[in-house]
């Protein structure tokens, strides 16, 4: 504890008082930040949960279709069919600031604007199950990207909330009480010093007074 060696001076007192004001203000601000972050986080995480369930269901269906396709087609045919993709996706990342947490916003662009341009093969040698499989995956893809965005935001916000909560607690339970204690200690000490100086002065005055009277009596 830093409280073991407190210098009881007026300067230290002023310093501590300033520190207390800053700490109280910081505590209030951080608490507000934590509450707001928490509110947004809970909204986001609920969305995250719903979206994840949807995406997992979608991928499950797509996988089922792929298994079907694989059952009726040879491995080599599937591999050649999907070897050279027609479509390519690139994403643009921008940032959004939510209570000082930078969360990513993804914006995706496909090479060809036509959303039906996902079949990279001729339809002659492939089964229609493969078409279904690719289509079901393509349908779920925008949701997958949204899920990536939301889940990453949730992770980043969660770690920020954890940090902020620690700071709030440290200020509330350690820094502020300690500073208040030290301020009280110094105030008492200074008052005590003042009283003892007062008494000393009174004593000295009394002694001088007595001396004066004795001198006068002697004359």
Partner 1 sequence: MYNIAVMGDRDSIYGYAALGLNIFPVSDEVEGRKVLKKLAEGNCAVIYITEALAKILEEEIDKLKERPLPAVILIPGISGNTGQGIRTVKKSVEQAVGSDIIFNN
Q: Which of 170, 58, 88, 77 is nearest to 126 (CA)?
A: 77
Task: Quickly tell me which residue has 């009174």 as its tokens.
Answer: 202
The verdict on 35 binding partner 1 (CB under 8 A) reads no
Distance CA 122, CA 75 (A): 16
181 binds partner 1 (CB under 8 A): no
Using the rule CB under 8 A, which residue among 22, 155, 193, 212 binds partner 1?
155
**134, 168, 171, 175: which one contacts partner 1 (CB under 8 A)?**
134
Tokens of 123: 């339809």
Select the residue interacting with partner 1 from 16, 30, 133, 186 (CB under 8 A): 133
49 binds partner 1 (CB under 8 A): yes
Q: Is 73 in the site for partner 1 (CB under 8 A)?
A: no
Give the CA distances from residue 126 to residues 41, 62, 78, 134, in Å, rounded to whole numbers and listed in that order: 46, 17, 8, 12
Interface with partner 1: number of residues (CB under 8 A)? 60
C-alpha closest to that of 109 among 124, 94, 90: 90
Q: Report in angstroms how near the CB of residue 97 gets to partner 1 at its nearest.
A: 12
CB-CB contact of 129 with 68 (8 Å): yes
The answer to whether the Cα torsion of 110, 116, 118, 120 is positive or negative is negative
Q: Which residue stretch of 18-26, 58-66, 187-195, 196-204 sits at the interface with partner 1 (rule: CB under 8 A)?
A: 58-66
* 127 near partner 1, judged by CB under 8 A: no
> Closer to partner 1 at the Cβ: 56 or 214?
56
Measure the CA–CA gap between 172 and 19, rounded to whole angstroms.
Answer: 13
Which residues partner with 93 through β-bridges? Answer: 106
Nearer to partner 1 (CB atom), residue 48 or residue 182 = 48
As a whole number of angstroms, the distance between CA 18 and CA 40 comes to 33
Q: Which of 119, 132, 185, 189 binds partner 1 (CB under 8 A)?
A: 119
Asked if 157 and 42 count as a contact pair (C-beta separation under 8 A), the reply is no
Residue 99 lies near partner 1 (rule: CB under 8 A) = no
Interface with partner 1 (CB under 8 A): 38, 41-42, 45-46, 48-49, 52-53, 55-56, 59-60, 62-63, 66-67, 78-79, 82, 85-93, 95, 102, 104, 106, 108, 110-111, 118-120, 133-134, 137-138, 141, 144-145, 147-149, 151-152, 154-159, 161-162, 165
């Amino acid at each position: 504890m830093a409280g073991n060696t407190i210098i009881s001076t007026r300067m230290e007192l002023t310093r501590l008082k300033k520190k207390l004001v800053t700490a109280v203000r910081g505590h209030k601000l951080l608490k507000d930040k934590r509450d707001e972050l928490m509110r947004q986080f809970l909204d986001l995480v609920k969305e995250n949960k719903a979206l994840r369930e949807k995406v997992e269901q979608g991928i499950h269906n797509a996988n089922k279709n792929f298994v079907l396709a694989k059952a009726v087609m040879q491995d080599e045919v599937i591999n050649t069919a999907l070897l050279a993709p027609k479509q390519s996706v690139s994403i643009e990342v921008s940032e959004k600031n939510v209570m000082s947490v930078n969360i990513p916003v993804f914006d995706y662009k496909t090479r060809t604007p036509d959303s039906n341009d996902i079949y990279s093969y001729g339809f002659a040698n492939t089964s229609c199950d493969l078409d279904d499989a690719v289509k079901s995956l393509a349908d779920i893809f925008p949701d997958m990207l949204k899920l990536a965005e939301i889940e990453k935001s949730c992770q980043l916000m969660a770690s920020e909330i954890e940090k902020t909560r620690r700071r709030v607690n440290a200020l509330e339970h350690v820094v502020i009480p300690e500073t208040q204690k030290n301020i009280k200690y110094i105030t008492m000490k200074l008052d005590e010093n003042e009283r003892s100086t007062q008494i000393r002065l009174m004593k000295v005055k009394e002694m001088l007074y007595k001396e004066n009277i004795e001198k006068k009596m002697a004359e």
